[in-house]
Amino acid sequence: MGKYFGTDGFRGEANKDLTVQHSFKVGRYLGYYYGKKNPEGKAKVVIGKDTRRSSYMFEYALVAGLTASGADVYLMHVTPTPSVSYIVRTDGFDCGIMISASHNPYYDNGIKIINGMGYKLEAAVEEEIERYIDGEIPEIPLATKENIGCTVDYSMGRNRYMGYLMTIPTRSFKNMRVGLDCANGAAYQVAKAVFDALGAKTYVINNDPDGTNINTNCGSTHIEGLQKFVVEKGLDVGFAYDGDADRCLCVDDKGELVDGDKILYVCGRYMKERGELNKNTIVTTIMSNLGLYKALDKKGISYDKTAVGDKYVYECMSKNGYRLGGEQSGHIIFSKHATTGDGILTSLKIMEVLPVNIYLKSAIDRQNIISSFASYLQIAPDELQMIARTLPADTQAYVEQMQRYAEQEENEACREMIEDNIREIGHGIAGGAMRHRFFLVFQYEPSMRAKRNTVQAIIQRLNEEADTARRYLDLCELEVLEPQYSDNFVLKLLYEILNKKTSQRVRLPEGVFDMTTAVHGIYEE
């Protein structure tokens, strides 16, 4: 650690440890440094901030320093830290700056610098900035005339980030009752909008910043407020963010805390089951709970320990190709999607796990679910099959629907967000999009055979078996969809079940199934 910069940037009490003079000089050096590295001789820098009163003061000081050194500055205004990282690496900026002291009290503030790859700034450059602040480097030249930098409103960057978050979940959150504690911080304009767009019934607390109430008895450092709120409102789950929304803690439907270690365990198990946990390893810090390691050992999941700080967690992940890492405090990194901790992204990934993973439930609820499923297995038909059908998603229909929404949307900011979402899909997301369908297949068994059994009687018996399964799955908190399938769909499904390998390579033409249906109709006559 340097004289001014620590593991998470330059941080201290506003105008005491961190002053406007410091901010101005940081801006001056960054504009000069990246201007020299840019082939055009002019740096391009994006700035975000949280809701602290002093954040506006430091923003203006940084802008003055940067533009005085010839840099063009793009302002995202109040926005989460991970959004700055995302925009830097996707929109071609030389570097990004986030003004925030994270979970600290409102009177503190900080300057976090992000390089062009979306990572935290290299220590060597931080040392050069410190030397410039202390006067150990000669004064750098001021830009003049047309070389003076300009300032650009870039609130669309925040909208692009929101659109990106909306593309990550693989399912809708419809009918899920979700509580959000935004800590009166950087998440207050983003989190609810994302969850609403994904179909959740969203309930928000601490979403009215006044410049001095950020992190005050709220957010991830004061989880008790959200715990009470979730229980009183009867919500399914709750998420609490910190001041700059780069960390997240979870609360289950009983008000029990799910900290960063538990999030790592739940998401790690889920990713392993889906073949997404690269090298079967999770990155933790030396502060992680011993219980986490015992639980991972039982599931055969490896782990790599680092020093405290998501900076070190990501360095380890990047070096070794790991996909998941984090801290007990709620800094969780999903390297497929982000280069830093992202509280809102973490909550979206937990939402993806919730329907299929019972480890966010209380011990009593887990036992009830297991008992219900075990009871059903005891009475289930011997020939019951469970089929998983995975196919490339048809994103074209989704894009066309979003385009219609964009044409009808009167709010310019919302329209931009929809259009950004469409562009993200066009940039390659569609290529990896998959849709998953799970089926329970009930079939005619010899035990159903009787002298007077008609086709209608057999069908009625099968429907009764399906109704029984539905009731038990409801007790297991699994949603069962009513089948609305055509004969063609059923025939295709049977073809894929009976010819698993062939069906992946050979898609039979539509006419084959039409002809089969027609022959079946003749046979019935």
Kindly state whether residues 373 and 498 are assigned to the same domain.
yes
- Among the candidates 329, 353, 377, a domain finishes at 353
Question: Quick one: pLDDT at residue 372?
Answer: 78
Measured between alpha carbons, how far is 305 from 314 in angstroms, rounded to an integer? 11
- Read off the pLDDT of residues 307-322 as tens digits, 9 standing for 90 and up: 988 888 999 999 999 9
- Among the candidates 300, 330, 353, a domain finishes at 353
DSSP 144: -
Kindly state whether residues 207 and 112 are assigned to the same domain.
no
Q: Is residue 200 part of a domain?
A: yes
Cβ-contact 295, 267 below 8 angstroms: no
Element (H, E) at 99: strand 95-99
pLDDT above 70 for 508 = no
- In single-letter form, the type of residue at position 456 comes to Q
Measured between alpha carbons, how far is 38 from 321 in angstroms, rounded to an integer? 29
Rg value, the chain, Cα? 27
Residue 321 CA to its chain's centroid (Å): 19
Measured between alpha carbons, how far is 167 from 201 in angstroms, rounded to an integer? 18
Q: Is residue 211 part of a domain?
A: yes
Residue % of the chain over a pLDDT of 90: 57
Q: Using DSSP bridges, classify how beta strands 9-13 and 95-99 pair: parallel, antiparallel or unpaired.
A: unpaired
Measured between alpha carbons, how far is 395 from 294 in angstroms, rounded to an integer? 42
DSSP 120: B
Q: Is residue 362 part of a domain?
A: no
Kindly state whether residues 143 and 195 are assigned to the same domain.
no
Question: Quick one: pLDDT at residue 335?
Answer: 93
Question: Quick one: pLDDT at residue 387?
Answer: 74
pLDDT above 80 for 522 = no
204 or 453: whose pLDDT is higher? 204
pLDDT above 80 for 515 = no
Kindly state whether residues 483 and 417 are assigned to the same domain.
yes
Q: Is residue 466 part of a domain?
A: yes
Question: Quick one: pLDDT at residue 7?
Answer: 79
Q: Is residue 36 part of a domain?
A: yes
Kindly state whether residues 49 and 147 are assigned to the same domain.
yes
- Confidence band for 523, pLDDT divided at 50, 70 and 90: very low
Closest C-alpha to 179, from 223, 221, 238, 224: 238
Question: Quick one: pLDDT at residue 465?
Answer: 83
Kindly state whether residues 222 and 112 are assigned to the same domain.
no
- Read off the pLDDT of residues 89-120 as tens digits, 9 standing for 90 and up: 999 999 999 999 999 999 999 999 999 999 88
- Range of the structural domain that residue 393 is part of: 368-524
Active-site residue 486, yes or no? Answer: no
Q: For 384-392, what is the mean pLDDT? A: 71
- Among the candidates 102, 120, 155, a domain finishes at 155
Q: Per the structure, how many domains does the chain have?
A: 3
Closest C-alpha to 524, from 426, 449, 456: 456
In our burial notation (b when 16+ CB lie closer than 10 A, e otherwise), range 241-278 reads bbbbbbbbbbbbbebbebbbbbbbbbbbbbbbeeeebe
Kindly state whether residues 516 and 477 are assigned to the same domain.
yes
- Average pLDDT over the chain reads 85
pLDDT above 80 for 275 = yes
Q: Is residue 18 part of a domain?
A: yes
Kindly state whether residues 107 and 195 are assigned to the same domain.
no
| 3-class secondary structure, 143 | coil
Kindly state whether residues 340 and 398 are assigned to the same domain.
no
- Confidence band for 367, pLDDT divided at 50, 70 and 90: confident
Question: Quick one: pLDDT at residue 430?
Answer: 46
Question: Quick one: pLDDT at residue 520?
Answer: 44
Question: Quick one: pLDDT at residue 357?
Answer: 54
187 or 498: whose pLDDT is higher? 187
Measured between alpha carbons, how far is 157 from 79 in angstroms, rounded to an integer? 9
Q: Is residue 360 part of a domain?
A: no
DSSP 429: G
Q: Is residue 160 part of a domain?
A: no
- Read off the pLDDT of residues 112-159 as tens digits, 9 standing for 90 and up: 999 999 988 999 999 999 999 999 998 899 999 999 999 999 999 999
In our burial notation (b when 16+ CB lie closer than 10 A, e otherwise), range 386-423 reads eeeeeeebebeeeeeebeeebeeeeeeeebbbbbbbbe
Q: For 432-451, what is the mean pLDDT? A: 67
Residue % of the chain over a pLDDT of 70: 83
**Least confident stretch, 65-69, 106-110, 224-228, 385-389:** 385-389
Kindly state whether residues 135 and 186 are assigned to the same domain.
no
Kindly state whether residues 70 and 151 are assigned to the same domain.
yes
Q: What is the CATH number of the domain that holds 37?
A: 3.40.120.10
Kindly state whether residues 86 and 179 are assigned to the same domain.
no
7 or 163: whose pLDDT is higher? 163
**C-alpha angle 474/477/478, rounded to 5°?**
75
- Read off the pLDDT of residues 342-366 as tens digits, 9 standing for 90 and up: 999 999 999 988 765 555 566 677 7
**Pick the catalytic residue: 85, 102, 288, 347?**
102
